[in-house]
Structure 1
Amino acid sequence: MVYILVGFFVFLMLLVLLVMHFQFKLFYLAKNKLRILEYHSISTNGFYDQITIKKESLIAQFDFLKMNKYHTMWLSEVEAHQENNIPLPQKSIVLTFDDGFLDNYTVLYPILKAYDFKAVLFVVLGKIGQKIDWGGEFISKNDNMRLMDRTQLEEIGSHIELGYHTYKHDNYAMLTLEEIEEDLKLCQKVIAHEKLKVFPALAYTYGGYYRKKDAKQKALFELLKKYGIRYGLRIGNRINVFPFRNKYQIQRIDIRGGDSFEVFKRKVLLGRKKLL
């Protein structure tokens, strides 16, 4: 009876460790783990919501990353490591910001320069320099919120790499393959016309893509490959195993404006704020 109980306890502990490993990548070496954080807009008036973080909170988070020696990277640098079979630096992290809010130029860019951090900005390419016309409390409270213009997107290049975030902020999960193809064509037309330097990585708007593993998903990934998209980023809230196993299902850790500092630290360390 004692042996049965011990065996059951050992089995239970192994099961817990396996679950923990799946969730948090516990047994992978640092060179095989990549954290990618997801942000959007930054406020300077104390406002915060799901996609808006206070400037003070962002600075506190960057202080944590700097103090703990996290190494910020562009996706183009990550790709160079993968293609050349080079291990990642210790504590590698990619800071990503979606949409291209003007505050990413006025607020984020100076902070990145002060910390000597790098970030990736996923741009809504059909809305460059325009007034933002999709939902969100921060947007509705600031009626004239705009996205960065072409000059500003070029100016931030010392610390910010650009990527795709669709043509007009559409959710790919709601589009047909034909509509997605047209979206990609329009994105590339803007890039060529504006002579922008854009790394061919796509952050799915709203995290939306064909999630079911079937022929339709395979066709989507083939379409992305056809148009030269090398990475597709979802949400997922997990640390990535590196080298990437599926370049079109790379996971990001969603950093929300209402996250406490302790929640932020847990997300960075574990990829999630909860154990299960």
Structure 2
Amino acid sequence: MRIILLKKRDLKIFAAALVLLIGLGTLGKLYKSSAAPVSAQAGVPVPILMYHSIYEDTQSKNTFVLSPKALEQDLKYLQDNGFETVLIQDLIAYTENNVPLPEKPVVLTFDDGYLNNKTNVLPLLEKYNMCAVISVVGEFTDTFSKTEDLNPRYSHITWDDIAELEETGRIEIGSHTYNLHHDGARQGAKKKSGESAETYKSMLRRDLLALQQTLSEKSGVLPVTFAYPYGHVSEESLDVIKEVGFKASMSCYEKMNYVTHDASCLYLLGRYNRPSGVSTQDFMVKVLREAQQ
């Protein structure tokens, strides 16, 4: 849980500089000049588990909603089998600076930034001494920062909640776009049919920068990890993600990750969705088999 926190004033300066660099086309050039060569080593196996809403759902039976009891069973299984949670920031530290990872690392991720991630997930992380990545949607956070609605089923964390969560040292905040979490014609952050690459990249850049700047100003946080909404990926997005300053991105491809000292291994990381209606034993055995070989 090696999280580096910057003061809000420093983050505002950094975010402003980030916008300027991208406007000048400088950051992309800097990134290309420092790209690491492709590594031949096999890498460290790192499974990433994907969760969403965590609460007792007795009505809808949504497959993306898991009960706190089921989550606790997952955490206990991981602990009993020798797995240690790490953040995406820890994978970056390993890749860039050779900071050691535990023998059996695993990453827990929670998409969309539900309020129940704070009320139901954080206490369990504290109980089992674990950490996790919560990827937030700016539009949702902005809406619930203006209301007192605390419904555990659909409410999302506020800008203040985000600052509090990151300050615990157990939570890394990731970006899940500002206003692209819609599965319509756009399909999340995906390029639309017939849309030019230039138009697409401009749209995506504006959206991602909007969330980066708002998070730095209102929460004192600047994410280095991006999660694709709905897992929809366009190859043209990679250049933009790097330009904006993300050092890692997460897909919904269900695959094991092998982390090396090649920076490119941290883009389009695979994740295993944790559905409801499946026992901890069945899910974990299937997902972690490769990591334990």
Confirm or deny a common fold (TM above 0.5): yes
Aligned residue for 2:27?
Answer: none
Alignment of 1:111-126 (within 5 A): 111-126=124-139
Structure 1 position 91, deviation (Å): 1.0
Assess if the C-alpha contact under 8 Å between 2:144 and 2:157 holds in 1: no
Partner of 2:271: 252
| CA contact 1:43–1:53 (8 Å) conserved in 2 | yes
> How far is the alpha carbon of 1:202 from its aligned partner?
0.3
Distance 1:43 1:83, change over 3 A: same
Which one has the largest radius of gyration?
1
| Structure 1 equivalent of residue 287 of structure 2 | 268
Equivalent residue in structure 2 for 1:161, among 169, 172, 181: 172
TM-score (norm 1): 0.75
Give SS of 1:256's match.
coil
1:229 counterpart = 2:246:
yes
User: Which position in structure 2 is the counterpart of 1:18?
Assistant: none
Stretches of structure 2 that go unaligned for 5 or more consecutive residues are: 1-40, 146-150, 183-187, 193-199
Residue deviations 1:82-119 (CA, integer Å, cap 9, x gap): 11234531110010000110100110111111111000
Pairing of 1:1-276 with structure 2 (within 5 A): 32-46=44-58, 48-128=61-141, 130=143, 145-157=154-166, 158=168, 159-168=170-179, 169-170=181-182, 171-175=188-192, 176-210=200-234, 217=235, 219-243=236-260, 245-270=264-289
Counterpart residue type for residue 196 of structure 1? G
Relative to structure 1, the CA distance from residue 188 to residue 70 in structure 2 (aligned partners, 3 Å threshold; closer, same or farther) is: same
> Compared with structure 1, are the counterparts of its residues 123 and 181 closer, same or farther at alpha carbon in structure 2 (3 Å cutoff)?
same
- CA 207–249 in structure 1, closer or farther in 2 if over 3 Å, else same: same
- With over 3 angstroms needed to count, the CA separation of the structure-2 counterparts of 1:195 and 1:155, relative to structure 1, is closer
CA distance in 2, matches of 1:148, 1:129: 9
| TM superposition score normalised by structure 2 | 0.71
Tell me if structure 2 keeps the 8 A contact 1:49–1:258. no
- Aligned AA for 1:164? S
Instruction: Tell me how far apart the structure 1 counterparts of residues 242 and 158 of structure 2 sit (CA, whole Å).
Output: 28
Task: Give the Å deviation of 1:43.
Answer: 1.4
Q: Offset of 1:240 from its aligned partner?
A: 0.3
- State, as a whole percentage, how many aligned pairs show the same letter: 27
Question: C-alpha deviations, 1:228-264, integer Å up to 9, x for none?
Answer: 1111110111110111643321111111122222321
Following superposition, the deviation at residue 227 of structure 1 comes to 0.8
Equivalent position SS for 1:196: coil
SS at match of 1:251: coil
Q: Which amino acid aligns with 1:208?
A: H
For the structure 1 residues 203 and 267, does the alpha-carbon distance in structure 2 shift closer, same or farther, using more than 3 Å as the test? farther
- Note the C-alpha offset of 1:34: 0.6
**Does the 8 A contact of 2:252 with 2:273 survive in 1?**
yes
Which one-letter code corresponds to 2:286 in the other structure? K
Aligned mates of 1:33, 1:87 — CA distance in 2: 13
Query: Are 2:52 and 2:65, in contact at CA under 8 Å, matched by a contact in 1?
Result: yes
Task: Give the drift of 1:74.
Answer: 1.1
One-letter amino acid of the structure 2 residue matched with residue 36 of structure 1: I
Where 2:143 maps in the other structure, the secondary structure is coil
Q: CA deviation at 1:148?
A: 0.5
What residue number does 2:3 align with?
Answer: none
List alignment gaps of at least 5 residues for structure 1. Answer: 1-27, 133-141, 211-216
Q: How far, CA to CA, are the matches of 2:83 and 2:223 in structure 1?
A: 22
- Stretches (4+) displaced over 6 A: none
Do the aligned partners of 1:238 and 1:270 also contact (CA within 8 Å) in 2? no
Alignment-mate amino acid for residue 54 of structure 2: I
Q: Which moved more, 1:69-78 or 1:83-92?
A: 83-92
Q: How many aligned residue pairs are there?
A: 228
Q: SS at the partner of 1:128?
A: helix
Q: Do 1:32 and 1:241's aligned partners in 2 also have CA atoms closer than 8 Å? A: yes
Whose strand fraction is larger, Structure 1's or Structure 2's? 1
1:269 partner amino acid? L
